[in-house]
A and B are shown apart, each in its own frame.
Chain A
Amino acid sequence: MKLIPQKAFKIFFETAARIILGSVFAVSGMIKLLEPAANFRATLYQYEVIPAVLVPALAAVLPWMEWILGVFILVGYALRPSSFVLGSFSFSLAAVIALSGKLGLDPSHTCGCFGEGGPQLSYRQIFSLDIVNGFFGFFLWKFASSRLALDRWLKPASK
C-alpha cells in the first residue's frame, strides 16, 4: 500500500525535475544563442572570478551546451550523463556567484545583464535557482529511469 504513493511520487518528481531542468537550460541557451554574443561575454566579465582570458571561449561554448543538453534532458536522450553535466554546471555557477559575492562584487550590479526584456533576477535568486537545478541534475543522474525517454527506445536491453 505504501509503495504505490512512493512510486507515484518518484515518477512525478522525476518528470518535474526533467521538465524544469531541461526547460531552464534549453530556453536559457536558446536566448543566448539568438542574442549577440557580446551580450553574454559582458555577463561573464561581470563575474570577476572567471579569468578574463577564458571569457570569449566560455561565451562561445556554454550557450550551445545549455541548449543541446537541455533538450537532451527533455527528450530523454543520454538522460543520466546530460543531467550530471548540467547538475555539475549548475553547482559550478552557484559557486562562482557565491565567490563573486565573497570577493565583494556589488550585488546591485543589475545592468540588465540577464536581458532587459527578461526576468530581473537578483544574484540571490540566481544562486537559489542554480542550487535547485544542481540538485535536480544530481537526482536525475543517480535515480532517473528511462520512462518517457528516448533512452528506453534506444537501449532496451540495458534496462
Chain B
Amino acid sequence: MNKKFVFTGVILMSVLISGVLLAKKNSVPESTLPAESLGPKVRGSAKAPVEIIEYSDFQCPACQRAQKTLHDIEARYPGQIRLVYRHFPLSGHQWSGLAHQAAECAARQNRFWDFQDRLFKDQLLWSTPQSPADAFIRYAQELGLDLDVFGVCLADENVKKQVQDEKQSGLASKVNSTPTFFINGERVVGHVELGIKGDAQIRKILNLEPAPVTETAAKPA
C-alpha cells in the first residue's frame, strides 16, 4: 500500500474523529440532571436516596412495558426510590397530547398515578382512530374525579402549555425517545436498559453488592 494513501487516511480519520469529539464537548453531557419537577407527579419519599425521573409517552408501547420494571424496582427497594414523572408526548402519536393533558388534569386532583396506570393498561383500547376523549372522561369518572373540574381542565390552554413545558425540559436534556429515565442524573434509555443498567445503577447508589446476573439481566418483555 502506498505511503501517500496511508498518510491521507490517517489525516482524514484524525480530522473526522477530532471534529466529532470537539462538537461533543459542547453538547449536553451523558449525565444530566433535568430541572426541578414541574408538577405534582412524584411518588415515594422526599428523603429517598434514589430519584428516578421518567420521561414517557402514554401511547408508547415501550413505556407501557417499562411500568412493570418500575414497579419491580420500587418493590425491590422499598422506601429508597422517589419517582418523578414528566410528560413527553411524541409528535408521531395521534392522541398522546390529549392523553397527557387528561393525566395532568388528574394530577391536579391528586390522582395522577391511578390515571396513568389506567392509560397504560388500556393503551390499545384508546389508541384507535376515533378520539379517546370519552374514554378519558370515563376513566376520570371511575376514579371519582370531579368531572366539571376535569372537563374545564381538559380545555385549558395552560394545561396544554404545562405538558409542552415538561417535554421541552426533556428536549433540553437531549431526550429524544421514550421512555427515558434519569437515575440520580444518570441517563437510562428504554425499558430493556432500565432492567439491566438501571438496577445496577440503583444498587451502586445504595452501596449494595451487584445482583446475580439472572436477577438483573432482564430480557425484553
* Total residues of chain A contacting the partner, CB 8 A: 39
A43/B177 contact (C-beta < 8 A), A34-B23, A34-B24, A52-B220 known: yes
Tell which of B16, B174, B178, B196 has the most Cβ of chain A within 10 Å.
Answer: B16
Does the CB pair B20–A117 fall under 8 Å? no
Does the CB pair B219–A155 fall under 8 Å? no
B198 CB, nearest partner CB in chain A, Å = 11
**B 178-205 contacts with A by CB, 8 A:** 178-180, 187-190, 192-193, 196
**B 102-142 contacts with A by CB, 8 A:** none
B190 CB, nearest partner CB in chain A, Å = 3
User: Which chain A residues lie closer than 8 Å to B176 at the CB level?
Assistant: 35, 39, 112, 115-118
A79 CB, nearest partner CB in chain B, Å = 12
Does the CB pair B63–A111 fall under 8 Å? yes
Does the CB pair A67–B62 fall under 8 Å? no
Does the CB pair A52–B219 fall under 8 Å? yes
CA distance A71 to B15 in the complex (A): 11
Interface digits, B1-40 against A, CB 8 Å rule (1 contact, 0 not)? 0101100110011001100100110011010000000000
A132 on the B face (CB < 8 A):
no
CA distance A48 to B30 in the complex (A): 24
B166 on the A face (CB < 8 A):
no
**A 17-49 contacts with B by CB, 8 A:** 30, 33-39, 41-43, 45-46, 48
CA distance A112 to B4 in the complex (A): 44
B60 on the A face (CB < 8 A):
yes
Does the CB pair B187–A154 fall under 8 Å? no
A80 CB, nearest partner CB in chain B, Å = 13
A55 CB, nearest partner CB in chain B, Å = 8
Stretch touching chain B among A5-13, A84-92, A102-110, A134-142: A102-110
Does the CB pair A38–B30 fall under 8 Å? yes
A34/B27 contact (C-beta < 8 A), A71-B12, A72-B12 known: yes
User: Which chain B residues lie closer than 8 Å to A112 at the CB level?
Assistant: 57, 60, 90, 92, 176-178
CA distance A37 to B61 in the complex (A): 22
Which listed residue (B4, B61, B62, B188) contacts A154, Cβ 8 A?
Answer: B4
User: Which chain A residues lie closer than 8 Å to B196 at the CB level?
Assistant: 52
Query: Can you pick out 21 interface pairs between chain A and chain B where the beta carbons lie within 8 Å of each other?
Result: A35-B174, A36-B187, A36-B189, A38-B30, A38-B180, A39-B176, A39-B177, A41-B190, A42-B189, A52-B217, A68-B16, A77-B9, A110-B90, A110-B93, A111-B57, A112-B177, A112-B178, A115-B177, A118-B176, A150-B8, A155-B5
| Known contacts A45-B190, A116-B176, A154-B8; 10 further A-B pairs (Cβ under 8 A) | A36-B174, A36-B187, A42-B192, A42-B193, A45-B192, A52-B217, A77-B9, A106-B61, A109-B62, A112-B177
